[in-house]
Structure 1
Amino acid sequence: MKTTPASIKSQLSTGELGFLITGVRNAIWSSIERELQPLDITAAQFVVFNTIAKGRGSTIGDLCRVLGYDSGAMTRLLDRIEKKGLVRRVANPDDRRSYLIELTEQSAALVPKARRHVQAVFGELLQGFDEREAVALKASLEKILENAARSG
């Protein structure tokens, strides 16, 4: 008796989607770590700088949401970055119980260099994709995020 292969959607629904996305995320993170090594910053530190520089986060809570860290882990990460002189915490004028996280002159100068390194990583990871495939990849990832937002 011949069995018909399961559809790709069925295969992905068995958990394969999670394995693939986790594998891609880990590959991206490792590649960024290697690329940023000469700048003496980690991928997590870059995400903090970039988030602040793009105006998408200035509090520990904002940064936790972007990185998926809990507040304790974020505080430890910020402590390490602050020791390097790359961020500073300033009193939040709107909430005396919290601090705003700001770039220092040193990290503000580092952001454009780090972005070029990260762009190089993504350029390498997208090698072999034509424009149509890149559009389909972007649309697929956006659809997954939309579905997750609806169900979550």
Structure 2
Amino acid sequence: MGPLDGYLPYLLNRAGARIAAAFSEEVRPLGATLQIWRVLAALHERDGRRMGDLRETTSIEVSTLTRLVDGMEKKGLVARRRDAADARAVTLHATPAGRRMTRIILPIAARYEKVALKGFSEAEATVLKTALRRLFDNMDGLRKS
């Protein structure tokens, strides 16, 4: 085992990049990208999100997210609407085409999770996911130091 094999950022990036590349290749013929999928999955979880909430949920940088949503709107996958409670705010909604794409990609995403977690018990998978969430949150400490 070399020094890289023990370096957490390397291991995380290596695993994430492998999953992302294969998933991206599979959804490309559907007219989707990994980032489009993140937005659609977030809207599937809760439709009518504001852009700031989407940025937090998807971890996509604001300017990239704005361009992405513009493109998704042109493709007819999402629609922006004024928030009924706050006319200054805009919410994002999946269109029927966006929901159709989501229904097609959901089983693909489930298969990727199943393959990635092969050999993990349910308890191990839960511990791994909890640890990754905590690791993500811990990175806020870099901003404070």
TM over 0.5: yes
Question: Any conservation in 1 of the 2:55–2:61 contact (CA below 8 Å)?
Answer: yes
2:95 is aligned to: 104
Task: Note the aligned Cα RMSD (angstroms).
Answer: 2.6
| CA shift in 2, pair 1:26/1:135, >3 Å | same
Alignment of 1:97-136 (within 5 A): 97-131=88-122, 133-136=124-127
| CA shift in 2, pair 1:23/1:56, >3 Å | farther
Q: What amino acid does structure 2 have at the position aligned with 1:47?
A: R
In structure 1, how many angstroms separate the alpha carbons of the residues matched to 2:18 and 2:73? 27
Alignment of 1:52-71 (within 5 A): 52-55=43-46, 58-71=49-62
| Structure ID, larger Rg | 1
Q: How many residues align?
A: 140
Alignment of 1:1-150 (within 5 A): 16-55=7-46, 58-131=49-122, 133-145=124-136, 147-148=138-139
In structure 2, how many angstroms separate the alpha carbons of the residues matched to 1:139 and 1:64? 21
- Residues 89-133 of structure 1: per-residue CA shift (max 9 Å, x gap): 111223333311001011112212111011112222222334454
Runs of 5+ consecutive residues of structure 1 not aligned to the other structure = 1-10
Q: What amino acid does structure 1 have at the position aligned with 2:132?
A: L
TM-score (norm 2): 0.80
Question: Any conservation in 2 of the 1:64–1:74 contact (CA below 8 Å)?
Answer: yes
In structure 1, how many angstroms separate the alpha carbons of the residues matched to 2:56 and 2:48? 9
In structure 2, how many angstroms separate the alpha carbons of the residues matched to 1:75 and 1:83? 12
In structure 2, how many angstroms separate the alpha carbons of the residues matched to 1:132 and 1:55? 27
